[in-house]
């Protein structure tokens, strides 16, 4: 599968060269991510199980609050790039055989913090949007009686809600995806600022529209599967995608 390096031409920002790859590279990222998962399985699966339990308990708490339940299930995709930071470090650790010290976080602490704040702002905005949409569509008595469920949500008569809800969530998810494809792994790997990392991620998406579409569909489908099965598969899916994201970064952005 061929690759072609492109040097982005931007004013006042020195971006690294971006590789154009074929859509089949997504399978390579997953393959290498799976290898890293097996190499680091006690830590990777242990963290995956913790996130699975946390997600399940959080949903048990939130399910009586319709808009909050919807926000958390869909919002996981929005914040997962940051939550997977430990998997980036594990893959980097195996690649360089250096100590597991999160040097990238310390080196770019301000930029990593700004990235986290950006995701927190997007998630909080989505929570408000979700609350408004649920409040406008569903009857007050339905919410008060605890009649809200997945079956209720996906009932045919509620397509007038679910379609615009998914569209709104899809726009936010696409934005976060475009800003996050390689930005946080890049901050973990080299001394760059927040804007450079985000711009690099946007250029990666621009130069690789089909592979990025396939990658987004794979991520969305796997996370949706995990959520439909009460988060159980997330114990494996989350670390797999985290490790694979590191290899996507390595494949799409040239070295120093």
The confidence score (pLDDT) of residue 46 equals 93
Give residue-wise pLDDT tens across range 204-247. Answer: 999 999 999 999 999 989 988 887 887 889 999 999 999 999 99
C-alpha distances in angstroms, 49 versus 42, 234, 252? 10, 8, 29
pLDDT band, residue 139 (cuts 50/70/90): low
Instruction: Tell whether the model's pLDDT for residue 203 goes beyond 70.
Output: yes
Q: Would residue 22 count as lying in a domain?
A: no
Quick check: is 25 in a domain? no
Task: Kindly state whether residue 72 falls inside one of the protein's structural domains.
Answer: yes
Contact 216, 177 (CB under 8 A): yes
Chain-centroid distance, C-alpha 198: 14
Its domain, for residue 241, covers 30-252
Residue 111 lies in a domain: yes
Which residues does 205 contact at the CB level (< 8 Å), separation at least 6? 177, 178, 181, 212
> Average of pLDDT values for 93-121?
83
The per-residue b/e assignment along 98-119, b for 16 or more CB within 10 angstroms, e otherwise, is eeeebebbebbeebbebbeebb
Residue 196 placed within a domain = yes
**CB atoms inside a 10 Å sphere around CB 195:** 13
Taking the model in full, what pTM does it have? 0.88
pLDDT at 119 over 70: yes
Q: Decide: 36 and 91 in contact? Cβ < 8 Å.
A: yes
Total tally of structural domains belonging to the chain: 1
């Amino acid at each position: 599968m061929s690759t072609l390096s492109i040097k982005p031409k931007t004013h006042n920002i020195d971006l690294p060269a971006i590789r154009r790859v074929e859509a089949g590279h997504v399978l390579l990222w997953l393959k290498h991510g799976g290898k890293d998962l097996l190499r680091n399985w006690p830590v990777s699966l242990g963290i995956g199980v913790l996130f699975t339990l946390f997600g399940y308990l959080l949903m048990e708490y939130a399910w009586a609050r319709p808009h909050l339940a919807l926000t958390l299930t869909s919002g996981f995709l929005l914040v997962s790039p940051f939550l997977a930071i430990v998997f980036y470090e594990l893959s980097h650790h195996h690649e360089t055989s250096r100590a597991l010290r999160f040097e990238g976080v310390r080196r770019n602490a301000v930029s990593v913090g700004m990235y986290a704040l950006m995701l927190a702002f997007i998630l909080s905005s989505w929570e408000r949007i979700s609350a408004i949409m649920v409040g406008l569509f569903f009857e007050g008595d339905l919410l008060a009686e605890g009649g809200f469920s997945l079956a209720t949500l996906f009932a045919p008569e509620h397509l007038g809600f679910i379609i615009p809800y998914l569209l709104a969530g899809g726009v936010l998810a696409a934005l976060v995806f475009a800003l996050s494809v390689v930005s946080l792994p890049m901050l973990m790997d080299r001394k760059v600022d927040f804007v450079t990392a985000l711009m690099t991620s946007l250029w990666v998406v621009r130069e690789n529209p089909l592979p990025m579409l396939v990658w987004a569909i794979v991520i969305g489908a796997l996370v949706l599967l995990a959520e439909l099965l009460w988060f159980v598969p997330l114990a494996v899916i989350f670390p797999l995608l985290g490790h694979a994201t590191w290899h996507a970064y390595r494949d799409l952005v040239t070295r120093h």
